[in-house]
Copies of this chain bind each other. A is one copy, B any other.
Amino acid sequence: MSARNSDTGVNSGKKRISESTIHRLSLYLRALSVLEKEGHETVSSKELAKREKLTPAQVRKDLSFFGSFGTRGLGYPVATLREQIAGILGINRAWKVALFGVGNIGSALVSYKEFSRQGFQIIKLFDNDQRKIGSNHKGIIISDARNMHEELAEAQIDIAVVAVPATVAQYIVDDICKAGIKAILNFAPINLRVPDDVYLRNENMSMELEYLSFALVNNHAQKRPKI
């Protein structure tokens, strides 16, 4: 690491941060919120690790990629560390999210409080079912997916969440990319193609069930689940 990592919470040295580290930041954030509510002023890497089933060394190493936030002999200041991590993750702001597919999963996501709590505001709903288009779902009028191009731009959407059937997911995603969206969270159980400059993440809910099935059948040696 050439340049210094000051305490600004920015990864100024251009070292690649691993996916796992970023996922763990989410865990730290969650634990810190609880600690803050419980009234703790500071927390050690040991305690933080314990609360998320990690190791103290892992916690310190992860944080060290972004700066030095702690005080030797004392630990980390709960409130400011939480703010710093929120800053690193970019959720110290509001993100405007559009949801595609107001079916079972989609509807559940609209009401999912954890999203809004983390700053993700679902402010547009799209579907291609004529019976749904135009109707009001939890205060949001469902739009026709065919109009996404104008409506996404108008609403200044940052992130698209895709909860449409696997059969149409690729078409929808093609359009989303054409509309200039650079971040997509996909719930359809299919591998989607997107241009290189678009971030795509998949949420595959049967995968974890399948893991459980495998573990049960094979008496798979337990290990702390990655992330």
CB-based contact B223/A199 at 8 Å: no
Interface stretch of the complex, out of A71-79, A126-134, A205-213: A205-213
A22-48 interface code vs B (CB 8 A; 1 in, 0 out): 110111011100000000000000000
| Integer count of this chain's copies in the complex | 2
User: Any chain B CB within 8 A of the CB of A90?
Assistant: yes
Contacts A105-B112, A114-B189, A208-B201 given: A216-B52 contact, CB under 8 Å?
A: no
CB-based contact B104/A112 at 8 Å: yes
Contacts A107-B104, A189-B30 given: A212-B114 contact, CB under 8 Å?
A: no
A19 to B20, CA, bound (A): 13
A202 to B184, CA, bound (A): 21
A184 — which chain B residues lie within 8 A by C-beta? Answer: 212
CB-based contact A216/B199 at 8 Å: yes
A11 — which chain B residues lie within 8 A by C-beta? Answer: 218
A75-90 interface code vs B (CB 8 A; 1 in, 0 out): 0000000000000111
